[in-house]
Structure 1
């Protein structure tokens, strides 16, 4: 079975193909290239993937890839941006009684819990960034870390008093940081049970301390 069939990120890409590319054939070609790049990263790891391999998998000429992206890091970076969750707005109605479930949902959505392929891609990229300066520059870490903004806004919405900005940032960073650490150190997919453990035994107690 093709590994990409286990993931839902193809649908995410389809929704985000840039309109500026114009002709439908161009959009479909870019979809094929980005999908091929993600498939290969999930299967082989970032370091092993080449532009030749991506072109072959996408049934595209290598010249086509280089007309759109100047190198592999920039192609992969664009593919990663497409599979990351779109920036969300905090739902105030869920910052009350349903706050615990809301935090679990935000964390699980961001890390693609139950989506093994997406987590493999994130694992490969997160470990490659420190070794590949071009990838680090191309990917713009904010596209990976901007979800902490949503956590921070949700926490602010839940806490009924103003807290120090540094404390707030730490609270917002705890969940994503632990999930990243878990993914990198174990190399295994993150399960919902672990997300709930972080929320129930760490984030909620910390928020409660700062709410008093």
Structure 2
């Protein structure tokens, strides 16, 4: 009898939450964010497009800001694989080798996401830090490697401001997409390299 009573009062374990769909839901959240902006976005929109229950999203993310913060942080992806970067032997060659259709589309998407969270960045330091790490730093890190390689080869001066130079390309792309509302294509990126970045380090395009 005592054993039966003990079994009756034994606490039941709750069902474990299933996080296998989290990456898919976060991708949908980024798409909605890029289309509507933070202020126009709702968790209901994300749930509908992801074909997930609204209650499921609220159990995982207690607020819209939590969902957006997680989604933006996930854009950073894997750590930079230096060995996978092009190494053509010249600064221009390395920069041009990074101009590929997938990377162009990815950059445009990131900029649209950034435009969507501008209002949140202004009032949320945590979001500002996440946006920098996910949207700005990955490409800046690639450019940083290319400029330092060029310095080590003796191709450009050792006293150039690498940190400033590695932001020129991303800044020009951001201005074109966010303010001018124009697409980014290969011709535009090549002109940035040949007419802005190379002259800034004292090189001429071949």
TM over 0.5: yes
- Aligned residue for 1:70, secondary structure, equals coil
- 82-91 or 43-52, which moves further after superposition? 82-91
In structure 2, relative to structure 1, the CA distance for the partners of 1:125 and 1:67 (3 Å cut) is same
Q: Contact 2:73/2:133 (CA < 8 Å) preserved in 1?
A: no
Q: Closer, same or farther in 2 for the Cα pair 1:174/1:34, shift >3 Å?
A: same
Runs of 5+ unmatched residues, structure 1? 1-22
The 5 A counterparts of 1:67-86 are 67-84=59-76, 86=78
Deviation at 1:119, TM superposition (A): 5.1
* Alpha-carbon RMSD: 3.3
Counterpart mapping for 1:127-146 below 5 A: 127-133=118-124, 136-137=127-128, 139-146=130-137
> Do residues 66 (structure 1) and 58 (structure 2) align?
yes
- The normalised TM-score by structure 2 is 0.70
Residue 36 of structure 2 is aligned to residue 44 of structure 1? yes
Q: State the partner residue of 1:153.
A: 145
CA distance in structure 2 between the aligned counterparts of 1:134 and 1:57, rounded to whole angstroms = 29
Structure (1 or 2) with the greater helix fraction: 1
Which segment drifts farther, 171-180 or 75-84? Answer: 75-84
TM-score by length of 1: 0.68
Question: What is the 5 A alignment of 1:188-203?
Answer: 188-203=182-197
Whose radius of gyration is greater, 1 or 2?
2
Q: Which runs of 5+ in 2 are unaligned?
A: 1-15
Matched, 1:122 2:113: yes
Aligned residues: 183
Give 3-state SS (helix, strand or coil) of 1:146's partner.
helix
CA distance in 1 between partners of 2:32 and 2:197 (Å) = 35
